[in-house]
Amino acid sequence: MNNNPTILIIGGVAGGASAAARARRLNESARIIMLERGPDVSFANCGLPYHIGGEIADRERLAVQTPESLRELLAIEVETLTEATAIDRAKKEVSVRRLADGSTDTIAYDKLILAPGASPIVPPLEGIQDDKIVTLRNLQDMDRIKAAAAEVDSVLVIGAGFIGLEMAEQLKHIGKQVSVVELQEQVLPQVDPEIAAPIAAELRSNGIELVLQDGVAGFKREGNQITATLNSGQSLTAGLVILSIGVKPESGLAKDAGLELGARGHISVNPFQQTSDPDIYAVGDVCETADPILGERAAIPLGGPANRQGRTAADHIFQGDKALEYPGSLGTAIVRVFDLALGSTGHNERRLQAAGVDYGHVTINAHQHAGYFPGAQNLTLKLLWDKKDGRVLGASAVGADGVDKRLDVIATAIVGKLTIDDLCHVELSYAPPFGSAKDPVNLAAFAACNIRDGLTDVVYEFPTDEDTQLIDVRPADLAQIRPIPGAVSIPLEQIRSRLGEIDKSRPVVTVCALGKMSYFATRILKQNGFNAASVVGGLALVPAPGKDATPTPQPTTSTPAPQTMTTPTSAPTKLDCTGLACPGPIMRVKEAASKLAPGDSLEISASDGGFANDLPAFCEANQYEFLGARKEGGVIIGGLRKPEAGSALATATPTGGAINNDATLVVFSQEMDKALAALVIANGALAMGGKATLFFTFWGLNALRKHEAPPIKDKTFMDKMFGTMLPQGIHRLPLSNMNYMGMGAKMMKDRMASKDLPNLEGLLADAKKGGARLVACAMSMEAMGIRQEELIDGVEIGGVAEFLGASGKAGTNLFI
């Protein structure tokens, strides 16, 4: 190659622009030409959703470089709105067409770098060419979506990958009704289900409708709305549809030129990013490189790999084999979804299973920093390793804070081929506000080594056979508040003294809140001759028939609007309840509030998902002034004030001395006639001008179930058994007497219809129309294995504090 080579680059953005900049730094005399089909040569495509949502207010900040700045800073010839149409490898020329006037030309090169990227997948569905169905790839797409979103109230996002969820979050930020449809059984199919589950709950708790395991069959325009018909037959209507179902490489130019392509159409390159033609390189989303973990081929459409590949290509052009090889891509990625972050690096279980790798895995729960320091929140971390040599193969994590730090450490460990033994002793920065003396990375490695060394046996779900003994080793108070059906409560500190209560001839499974105490219990049991195993991750991770100690926040049909905190007249007493699960925060609040003097206030920080609803209910029930609540980084900060003596609030009673027609009913029964009675009374209260709250608990929950339950993959065997054995919806409820295997219920329905009496379906519809609150007991849902998506629309999820707040104001309280 001569000293003044011509380097022709097709495509800008990450890979192409990085290659051009590096090439100029290595050779000042080279002629560097960059062709870009669009009007923008280098922009921050990862920032596009955040401008749509207004977090990045200044559009110009997304333009990393302009044609003018590249010419001035790097002396690069930039031609925008210029499309490369063909490569003549023999002549080393590229044919181009200038989109502004349609003129054509050829450009000679010494070295050619292909960086055309990837384009969004648009499947050939009916109606998909409608201009209200859009994709997001560049600044122009961003502008179109931003303008279109301003004109509509609702948006449908197809695809729950990283970009789809970023778009859903940002559209919700600007006040849109958002629905997300995902063909797979979970959001973020790139990670394992238990890590993705909290993200699904976070979406629903922020008012986003989430439809899983259902694809789109077609679209139809109806006026200014688009209706998507799903494979299940369900229809969703929105003012705008955003497709985010993946990307495909823009490799047509390379294919026509006879370059070697991989199985999925990506350009094959060597470690220096050279294609099958040594004078042509490929970088970014269009190419496939090495998989540094399994030694196979991988295509990772991410900005970080594209930038580094561009540098590698330029280095090899000017430095030859002295250049640093590109080692391959791990696929390290992270996404923020409202107050949670989820990230992954390396491979997940599905990928390792497909490759036939004999791997181990463990999931731990820990705080992101010292648990005694204010603001401690749970972080869930999953670690995977090769059983053959202990080498780290992958990891994923989810939490409100600290996810990125742990994944960056493990990504570095994978590159360095470190083992789980190495991770045990990796020394990470520690001070109470930042971490713990035993960082979650260390804890995950400790747990992995314990499993490998046989110090503990583990299970990943609750036992369903009658022979296995389930021992709850949580503190007795916690086990009493949130019991696990079928479990015997033996707190950890009592295990040694109560070994006689456990049958040594039968297997034992121990469980705690986070998985740590149950491991300690299994060590005691195993050394005393028991066949013992612990539940990995504890109740924070594994679905159980009982209410777990640190549950994923239950989704609600409507999220309380953020409130402005009323400023107390004097400095408030502060109460840190982070790290505590319901009912812990409310119990702590009750104790602290009782010590307040009249006029004093209390500011509470809590990480429990239900606290935002529990606090105002607690205040109303106990005549405290609710000062508001806000959410900051996953922590709910709420306030209350004790009223001055003699004030109206201090002397108020729930009824205020007037006739109170409000009714609160606990619907405990699943029997049709009792549910009828409850709804008749509720509608009577509404007719008398009162309010009605129906609190459905245990068997009564069956009246709220949909007739056709959506498929839910991660249900345990016991949860599925409950769902099969119990009546599903109001049409299948039995009679309390004279049921006769369902015949009596049918007779009663026919008789009521013949006498023009109201039926359950009509009463329920009237109650909802009249403003009755239908509240499902969160604890009972957990006990019976019922999920939010199995319930009819309009149902709220509530706890004890919320219910007692409603019943304290009601004139009538009934248990049916």
Q: Which residues are catalytic?
A: 46
The structure tokens 């001569």 sit at 2
Beta strands in 183-302 (DSSP E): 209-212, 216-222, 225-230, 235-238, 240-243, 247-249, 267-268, 280-282, 287-290, 297-298
C-alpha torsion 539→540→541→544, nearest 10: 30
Given a contact cutoff of 8 angstroms between Cβ atoms, the answer to whether 380 and 351 are in contact is no
How many CB atoms neighbour CB 600 within 10 A?
A: 17
- In angstroms, the Cα distances linking 512 to 281, 451, 460, 515, 608 are 55, 18, 13, 6, 18
**Kind plus residue range of the DSSP H or E element containing 140:** helix 139-150
Cβ neighbours of residue 391 closer than 8 Å, sequence gap 6 or more: 385, 417, 418, 419
* Token pair listed for 32: 């560097």
**Kind plus residue range of the DSSP H or E element containing 108:** strand 104-108
> In 3-state terms, what secondary structure has residue 696?
strand
Given a contact cutoff of 8 angstroms between Cβ atoms, the answer to whether 480 and 489 are in contact is yes
* Residue 456 DSSP label: -
Given a contact cutoff of 8 angstroms between Cβ atoms, the answer to whether 212 and 119 are in contact is no
**Kind plus residue range of the DSSP H or E element containing 815:** strand 812-815
* Nearest residue to 694 via CA among 670, 675, 669, 666: 666
Sequential DSSP letters for 461-477:
S---STTSEEEE-S-HH
Given a contact cutoff of 8 angstroms between Cβ atoms, the answer to whether 462 and 470 are in contact is yes
Residue 692, Cβ density class (10 Å: 0-12 exposed, 13-18 middle, ≥19 buried): buried
Given a contact cutoff of 8 angstroms between Cβ atoms, the answer to whether 16 and 10 are in contact is yes
Helices (H), 652-726: 672-687, 717-725
List beta partners, residue 777.
Answer: 798
* Nearest residue to 309 via CA among 280, 329, 284, 285: 284
The structure tokens 């209410």 sit at 547
C-alpha torsion 444→450→452→455, nearest 10: -160
Let me know the angle formed at the C-alpha of 624 by 622 and 626, rounded to the nearest 5 degrees.
125
Cα–Cα dist 239/265, whole Å: 34
Given a contact cutoff of 8 angstroms between Cβ atoms, the answer to whether 249 and 298 are in contact is no
